[in-house]
Amino acid sequence: MTGTPRIVVLAGGVGGSRFVLGVRGALRGRGIDDTTSALTVVVNTGDDLWLSGVRLQPDVDSITYALAGVNDAERGWGRQGDSERVNHELQEWGAGWPWFTLGDLDLGTHLARTGWLRDGLTPTQVLERMSHRWDLGARLLPMTDAEVDTIVVLEDGSRLHFQEWWTRHRATLAPARFENPGIDAAAPAPGLTEALAAADVVLLAPSNPVVSIGPILDVPGIRQALRDTAAPVVGVSPVIGGKVVRGMADVCLTAIGVETSAAAVAGLYGARADGGLLDAWLIAEEDEAAADEVAGLGIRSLVRPLWMTDDARRTALGEAALTAGLADDRAL
């Protein structure tokens, strides 16, 4: 392969943004200055919602803020140094959800977005516009312009919005299943399937397989576009040492009958050769014993350090994922 590689990453919020930082770092490390042309990020919008009259896009904002360097890395969401005056006032009015904090700076983002949506811009156009404020070094695409929800159905049949289940109940109520109303009528965002078709490498971030990567794959046309692309598809395990690193993704996996292990998540995505998605799967050194099981599925398994706790580790992981893809025969 010659020239600038074209990389497409599928990503959710926290794990997704850490990984995207790493891929951007790896591209820069390869001497590519214009990473915006090289790197397209397809972002989950399945947990977007309307609250207090504004449109929230949690995963889109996590990635935007992280790439801009204005995210609250410690807390894992929102803006660094944000305040909550407006949120307090909303609570006094009894508006919104008392357990769902909206920061003041964050609300500025939501207001700008909502205004543009009301002016008639599509979510793709809004995100394009929002990408100009900072030098993000990546092109961001929502998975779809359609409004898709994530609903958690509990054992007793009651239904909760994903954010209520996740943020209010901290995923402690056992889910029977997840539903994405609206997804069957959704179409991939404009330019998305074209980006997959033209890619040199496609990367699945170590995001929640059920409620971050899952909805992206379930937008009609995206899974097929992944199967059709000539580019190798390389995934990174969100499970390290048999545990999800952060958050409650294990509860989501259990609900769909998938064990919380690096090999089981690989099995969920499936081998490309077997009608699934993956050519290669990066697993942690802690899960080395699972390498044979992954290989047995027909997926090239690579044991690498998967912790993304600082810049150097993130970039090393981004580089490992790029190398795994670019070294694949079909990309040469």
Which residues of this chain interact with ligand GDP, rule CB under 6 A? 11-16, 18, 59, 62, 206-208, 212, 236-238, 240, 244-247, 249, 306-309
Q: Of the two residues 107 and 306, which places its CB atom closer to ligand GDP in the complex? A: 306
Q: Of the two residues 36 and 260, which places its CB atom closer to ligand GDP in the complex? A: 260
Q: Of the two residues 65 and 116, which places its CB atom closer to ligand GDP in the complex? A: 65
Binding mask 9-48 for Ca ion (x = CB under 5 A): ---xx---------------------------------x-
Please list, in sequence order, all residues whose beta carbon lies within 8 angstroms of the beta carbon of residue 124, skipping any fewer than 6 positions away: 141, 142, 145, 189, 190, 191
Least distance to ligand GDP from the beta carbon of 13, Å? 3
Q: What are phi and psi of 11, to 5 degrees?
A: -150, 150
Residue nearest to ligand GDP (CB): 15
Q: Of the two residues 215 and 267, which places its CB atom closer to Ca ion in the complex? A: 215
Q: Verify binding: residue 59, Ca ion, rule CB under 5 A.
A: yes
Q: Verify binding: residue 267, Ca ion, rule CB under 5 A.
A: no
Q: Of the two residues 48 and 145, which places its CB atom closer to ligand GDP in the complex? A: 48
Q: Verify binding: residue 82, Ca ion, rule CB under 5 A.
A: no
Least distance to Ca ion from the beta carbon of 166, Å? 8
Least distance to ligand GDP from the beta carbon of 211, Å? 7
- CA dist 97 and 90 (Å) reads 9
> Is the separation of the CB atoms in 261 and 290 below 8 Å?
yes
Q: Of the two residues 249 and 306, which places its CB atom closer to Ca ion in the complex? A: 249
Strands 233-236 and 201-204: parallel
Q: Verify binding: residue 149, Ca ion, rule CB under 5 A.
A: no
Q: Verify binding: residue 200, Ca ion, rule CB under 5 A.
A: no
- CA dist 96 and 222 (Å) reads 33
- CA dist 162 and 97 (Å) reads 13
DSSP element (H, E) containing 218: helix 214-218
- CA dist 31 and 198 (Å) reads 21
Extract the runs of DSSP E, i.e. beta strands, from the chain: 7-11, 39-43, 49-51, 54-56, 139-142, 151-154, 159-161, 175-179, 201-204, 233-236, 239-240, 243-244, 280-284, 300-304
- 240 contact choice in Ca ion, ligand GDP, none (CB below 5 to 8 Å, kind-dependent): ligand GDP
Q: Verify binding: residue 279, Ca ion, rule CB under 5 A.
A: no
- For the chain, state the CA radius of gyration: 19
- By CB under 5 A, name the binding residues for Ca ion: 12-13, 47, 59
